């Protein structure tokens, strides 16, 4: 399989998903921080967004 990632009409990354998907690419494409996990069944990258939760004011 080959993944082609585009932004603003241009290719910013391409290649096998296992080699292409990383936190920097997700940040560039979507503007979010994420952790990249690997599916144990087949090694597919799994993107898990990092969500910041505001702390309560006491």
Residue 20 lies in a domain: yes
Residue 57 lies in a domain: no
Full residue range of the structural domain in which residue 33 is found: 3-49
Residue 54 lies in a domain: no
**pLDDT given at position 17:** 96
Residue 12 lies in a domain: yes
> In angstroms, rounded to a whole number, what is the distance separating the alpha carbons of residues 33 and 25?
10
CA 25 to chain centre: 6
Q: Which of 13, 18, 55, 16 is nearest to 30 (CA)?
A: 13
Residue 23 lies in a domain: yes
Predicted confidence (pLDDT) at residue 58 exceeds the cutoff of 90: no
Total domains in the fold of the chain: 1
For 25-53, write each residue's pLDDT tens digit: 999 999 999 999 999 999 999 999 998 77
Radius of gyration for the alpha carbons in the chain, expressed in angstroms and rounded:
14
Please report the DSSP string for 3-31 in residue order: EEEEETTEEEEEE-HHHH--HHHHHHHHS
């Amino acid at each position: 399989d080959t993944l082609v990632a585009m932004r603003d009409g241009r290719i910013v990354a391409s290649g096998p998903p296992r080699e292409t998907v990383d936190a920097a690419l997700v940040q560039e494409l979507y503007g979010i921080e994420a952790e990249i996990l690997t599916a144990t069944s087949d090694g597919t990258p799994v993107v898990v967004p990092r969500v910041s939760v505001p702390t309560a004011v006491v």
